[in-house]
Amino acid sequence: MAKEKTGKEIFDTYIAPSLKEARKRMTKDTNNFLFEIDDRYIDMGIKIRDRKLTYMVKTYGCQGNLADSEKICGIMDALKYTEVDKEEKADVIFFNTCAIRENAENRIYGELGRLKNLKKRNRDLLIALCGCMPQEEVTIKRINESFPQVDIVFGTHNIHKIPELLYKAYKSNNNVFEVMSIEGDIVEGMPQKRISDIKAWVDIMYGCDEFCTYCIVPYTRGKERSRRPEAIINEVKELVEKGYKEITLLGQNVNAYGKDFVDIKYSFANLLEDLAKTNIPRIRYTTSHPRDLDKDTMDVMGKYENIMPHLHLPVQSGSDKILKKMNRKYTKEIYLEKINYLKKQVPGLALTTDIIVGFPYEDEDDYNETLDLVRKADFEGAYTFIYSPRAGTPAATYEQIDEDVSKARLLKLNELINEGFAKGNKRFENSVVEVLVDGFSDKNPEMLCGYTKHNKLVNFEGDVSLIGKFVNVYIDKAYTWHLHGTLKSDALQK
Ligand code: 5AD
Ligand code: SF4
């Protein structure tokens, strides 16, 4: 009989993710295939451990990861595991991780360290690390050397392999690593356990080919590849039938949707228009890239009432010099021209953005250009970050700037952003807005909360029966982070 392999040996048989290789990848045709589960994997708990097993998924990072977690849960339910909400009760814990900045990663290493004790209490417990971190070479090395408590490691392209990976982990009692596939495929038909029955995320494409010099995503998520239009449109039609009220189309750079099709000419604008015609009440999308946001898309946004008047358009910097070093391929002027055009098509548009400060070579003049752009663009919100070097990306090798300088820049920028946030809310004071009711507010459980078309958070008093409905709310007061309102007597819309 062949000798059982050790965890290390199994690791060595896999191709570790390589940032260098990822940059060389070609736009070869994408493999599309349908997800299936082999019967032998169903009810593994009973078959292998003689009892029903449980699982928990911990999600970090962006909406892409949240959508992936819904698929992990979908697969685990199909395998007949039961979802639990406490680590102590779980037989499998998934860490669906984010690699975008160093502090996100450090948090996860801290959590993994803590789990050693849990493993002593539950000898069946499997710890699975997935998402973006395993796609980095440095993570794989560190996990392999210092975190033996991690049993399964798989990357963003291997979610459909969960049944097989779990099976291998039980059968071999070894660590199972499956990361790679730098290009990535498209797997249709994975079960998805949606966390909401009101709002849904819909993946329209995977990966990113932009290679902004600071960003790890093109390496962790593979090449840009679009789902076929029919698959997306059918998914949305099903959501409409099930009574969903809002969809958010997801991709790292949704404006590049369709560029990889070799047999059809079909763009993001085409998709947006076809989806607008499905009668889904609200459509949002994220994330956009200013270079690829085209006139057709902006025109479609202006044409359909059910495409929401909010756009998240990450600008990153207002300095042309820095934008060039970031490989963003647009200038401050082009950015402003585009948003001005869009604001004409969509009057009252709410614009939000992402900004990085402290990028290598950013001097006071560059930083002031960013502040100037923030004023001119009238952002009503922004995620702001201090640049965090990511191993393997070009910018990590540039000369870094002083951390205290970056911190001071972030503080001052945030003040300006908060002013924009407050101003964006203030414009709705003393008016009636349409709110899609999400549920009770976390901060104030007596109040209902929901979002307006412009993506403004509203708190108001109301009955539980309104959850999932559209209501008209009169805004009596605007705060920096939310609006406070009162239900109109003819509140219920549809
Ligand atoms: N450092 C800081 N911020 C980053 N982002 C991406 N990579 C980095 C990095 N290395 C930010 C960008 C992006 C958002 C999702 O995260 O602003 O738009
Ligand atoms: Fe990263 Fe977005 Fe640039 Fe792609 S477009 S490399 S995801 S910042």
pLDDT tens-digit map of 340-381: 999 999 999 999 999 999 999 999 999 999 999 999 999 999
Question: How sure is the predictor about 120, in pLDDT bands with cuts at 50, 70 and 90?
Answer: confident
Boundaries of CATH 3.40.50.12160 in the chain?
7-18+30-178
Is residue 340 classed exposed, middle or buried when 0-12, 13-18 and 19+ CB atoms within 10 A define those classes? Answer: exposed
449 versus 494: the higher-pLDDT residue is 449
Q: DSSP H helical segments within 242-363, as ranges? A: 268-276, 295-303, 320-325, 332-345
CATH of 194-308, one of 3.30.750.210, 3.40.1350.10, 3.50.50.60, 3.20.20.140: 3.30.750.210
Pocket test for ligand 2, best of 252, 317, 328, 385 (most atoms within 8 A of CB): 252
Mean pLDDT of 167-174: 82
Boundaries of CATH 3.30.750.200 in the chain?
338-427
172 versus 74: the higher-pLDDT residue is 74
Q: What is the pTM of this model?
A: 0.92
Closest listed ligand to the CA of 313: 1
Mean pLDDT of 43-50: 90
Lowest-confidence region among 21-25, 386-390, 486-490: 21-25
Instruction: Judge if the beta carbon of residue 317 lies within 6 A of ligand 2.
Output: no
Question: How sure is the predictor about 12, in pLDDT bands with cuts at 50, 70 and 90?
Answer: very low
The secondary structure of residue 136, as a DSSP letter, is S
Instruction: Judge if the beta carbon of residue 301 lies within 6 A of ligand 2.
Output: no
Lowest-confidence region among 29-38, 99-108, 170-179, 203-212: 170-179
**Which of 51, 17, 249 is closest to 143 using CA atoms?**
17
Closest listed ligand to the CA of 392: 1
For 382-409, b/e burial (b = at least 16 CB within 10 A) is bebbbbbebebbbbbebeebeeebbeeb
CATH number for the segment(s) 338-427: 3.30.750.200
Lowest-confidence region among 138-147, 168-177, 397-406: 168-177
Instruction: Judge if the beta carbon of residue 252 lies within 6 A of ligand 2.
Output: yes
Instruction: Judge if the beta carbon of residue 384 lies within 6 A of ligand 2.
Output: no
Mean pLDDT of 22-28: 64
pLDDT value at position 328? 98
Indicate which residue's Cα is closest to atom 5 of ligand 2: 210
Mean pLDDT of 157-171: 90
Indicate which residue's Cα is closest to atom 3 of ligand 2: 212
Beta strand 199-203 with 350-357: parallel, antiparallel or unpaired?
unpaired
CATH number for the segment(s) 432-492: 2.40.50.140
Angstrom distance (rounded) from CA 174 to CA 4: 9
User: How far apart are the CA of 466 and the centre of ligand 2, in A?
Assistant: 38
User: How far apart are the CA of 392 and the centre of ligand 2, in A?
Assistant: 15
Closest listed ligand to the CA of 217: 2
Identify the helix (H) or strand (E) that includes residue 161: none
**Cβ < 6 Å from ligand 1: which residues?**
100-101, 214-215, 314, 316, 354, 356, 385, 387-388, 390
Instruction: Judge if the beta carbon of residue 253 lies within 6 A of ligand 2.
Output: yes
How many Cα atoms occupy the beta-carbon half-sphere of 175 within 13 Å? 26
CATH number for the segment(s) 7-18+30-178: 3.40.50.12160
